[in-house]
Structure 1
């Protein structure tokens, strides 16, 4: 048994069955007529442009002739009073800075370079026992940085602080802090210390 699609087929009319060839003949476009109006408009525009060019053909020469006649009529022979005076002599330069600059010596006061009055320390950890501080110092040493351990007596007892520095510039301290952050040591902070 074959499968037929009854949903997308149109029912055939009883009596007359049209073939596919007759449908194509009825849908053929009608032949186009020659556009007579378009031809007339185009001819009118072309002839108008030709007439415009013909009218301006010699107008430039006529304008030159009329301008020459107007100039000839307005030119009057100059009298002695109307003769322009001669130009004044060229002025001398008043500036002598070029010669002065050739022989000039400039003295500049350069201030002495002074050591910075502040430093930065970076504290990374503080521990209760010295062995924990030594372990942190070893982890920092594996990153290629040198750290110090300092013992501080506080109100709650002795603390061992692991710190880096001192740094003269904050940029160098930040660079070392980023190196330690990549290694997983995130507790470092900068301290501003005056000398």
Structure 2
């Protein structure tokens, strides 16, 4: 219910007596007896259900004939389940122990083929020698070969010969990291 607090006038006379008298007490809370009775009935029925289940489980594990057999035999030493070794149910452990793998490795044939790597071809011998020195700073040995052809005289900077192409590729990557590009690997017989 809405109240108008703005237009409220001051009470006349003793303000304490009117204030205390005008307030009403909060209604007393009633005890929820119905909820308490339902909870007690539910707890009792749950306890009875647990009792029935527990009794039926004990009846299945200890029949009368096994009770008599246990009474005549002497009790064995208690067995700790932690001390028992688990039973393996996997077969792959035995299969892996007895497995043998055969790998065929092809033999490397000796051939007269070798790989050469050409890193540059220049008209002047000085430029070829500069590239040869730059390659030498990388820890590789290069050769300058002079060749004459229909285009004139050329000075080629060559590394190798390499027995395997993989070795030539390793040196090529080393030179690429040192900013010596345009190296070409080619097959040479001889």
TM range, normalised to the smaller chain? 0.5 to 0.7
Structure-2 change in CA distance of 1:55 and 1:116 (3 Å): same
Q: Equivalent of 2:149, from 139, 154, 168? A: 154
Structure 1: stretches of 5+ with no match in the other structure: 1-12, 18-25, 66-111
Cα displacement (A) at 1:162: 0.4
Other structure's SS at 1:171 match:
helix
Distance across 2 between alignment mates of 1:186 and 1:32: 94
- TM-score, length basis structure 2: 0.54
Alignment correspondent of 1:44: 45
Cα displacement (A) at 1:189: 1.6
Q: 1:125-167 CA deviation, whole Å, 9 max, x = no partner?
A: 0011111111111111111111011122232211111010001
Alignment correspondent of 1:16: 5
Distance across 1 between alignment mates of 2:129 and 2:171: 19
Alignment correspondent of 1:95: none
Structure 2: stretches of 5+ with no match in the other structure: 7-25, 68-106
Distance across 2 between alignment mates of 1:32 and 1:116: 106
Cα displacement (A) at 1:53: 2.6
Other structure's SS at 2:63 match:
helix
- TM-score, length basis structure 1: 0.53
Alignment correspondent of 2:184: 189
Number of aligned positions between the proteins: 126
Structure-2 change in CA distance of 1:144 and 1:55 (3 Å): closer
Alignment correspondent of 2:171: 176
Q: Give the aligned CA root-mean-square deviation in angstroms.
A: 3.3
Cα displacement (A) at 1:122: 0.6
Runs of 4+ in 1 over 6 A off after TM superposition: none
Structure-2 change in CA distance of 1:191 and 1:15 (3 Å): same
Matches within 5 A, 1:98-117: 115-117=110-112
Cα displacement (A) at 1:43: 1.9
Alignment correspondent of 1:125: 120
* Higher deviation after alignment, 125-134 or 151-160: 151-160
Distance across 1 between alignment mates of 2:160 and 2:30: 96
